[in-house]
């Protein structure tokens, strides 16, 4: 019976991975509105900056889904698994919003999206193997760092790109909520060297996704 559940979980994880990487992202909610959006197209230089930043955020949301999927697969308690999969569904909305915005900006997602997903899935599964408290602490720290990245992107977006700004602001609020929920559920603080390694890994991804 246990082997059947393990097989079912593995099949579900493969299905989620294939949908995340190769199916068009779908949102259960409309993208946030953009007050102050004049409807005027961005200048070409501004469009390129917005497109590069939204490509990073798209890659980041794909990686976040993969982290949650990997953690959910190896979670020890059903409650933790449910929390992680619920957070992944929210990240799916974020992914769809970023994907739509990239299309509006005439830009493509990162060429390395399959790599970002696979690497993040493995990292998430490894974190979960250390136990649910460590896994939830990993979520809390990840979301704290994501908050910092989004703050930076909000500062760098062209002033006229109200639509991208509205998307990132709502994403930021929801990432903070995910982190707070994970901490409240018993997430353990991560050691300083692990937090530093996470920051360095994130810099590699964001620096690469800006161009590729």
Alpha helices in the chain (DSSP H): 2-22, 44-74, 78-104, 113-129, 132-156, 162-184, 192-211
If you search the block for the tokens 């955020």, which residue do you land on? Answer: 57
Does residue 30 have a pLDDT over 80?
Answer: yes
If you search the block for the tokens 């991804």, which residue do you land on? Answer: 205
Distance CA 209, CA 112 (A): 8
CA distances from residue 100 to 8, 29, 54 in whole angstroms, order as listed: 32, 13, 10
Average pLDDT, rounded, for the chain: 87
Does residue 4 have a pLDDT over 50?
Answer: no
What pLDDT, on a 0 to 100 scale, did the predictor assign at position 38? 65
pTM: 0.87
Q: Which domains does the chain have, with CATH numbers?
A: 44-211 (1.20.1260.10)
pLDDT tens digit sequence for 76-130: 999 999 999 888 888 889 999 999 999 999 999 999 999 999 999 999 999 999 9
Task: Count CA atoms within 13 Å of residue 67 on its CB side.
Answer: 20
């Amino acid at each position: 019976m246990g082997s059947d559940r393990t097989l079912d979980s593995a099949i579900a994880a493969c299905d989620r991975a294939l949908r995340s990487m190769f199916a068009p992202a779908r949102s259960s909610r409309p993208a946030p509105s953009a007050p102050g959006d004049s409807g005027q197209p961005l200048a070409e230089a501004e469009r390129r900056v917005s497109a590069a930043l939204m490509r990073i955020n798209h890659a980041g949301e794909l990686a976040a889904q993969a982290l949650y999927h990997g953690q959910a697969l190896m979670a020890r308690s059903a409650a933790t698994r449910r929390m992680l999969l619920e957070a992944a569904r929210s990240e799916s909305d974020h992914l769809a919003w970023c994907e739509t915005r990239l299309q509006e900006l005439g830009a493509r997602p990162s060429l390395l999206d399959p790599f970002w997903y696979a690497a993040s899935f493995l990292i998430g599964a490894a974190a979960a193997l250390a136990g649910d408290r460590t896994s939830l602490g990993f979520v809390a720290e990840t979301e704290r760092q994501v908050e910092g990245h989004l703050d930076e992107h909000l500062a760098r977006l062209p002033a006229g790109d109200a639509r991208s700004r509205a998307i990132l602001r709502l994403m930021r609020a929801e990432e903070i909520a995910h982190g707070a929920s994970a901490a409240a559920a018993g997430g353990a603080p991560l050691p300083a060297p692990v937090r530093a390694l996470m920051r360095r890994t994130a810099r590699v991804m964001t620096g690469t996704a800006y161009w590729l």
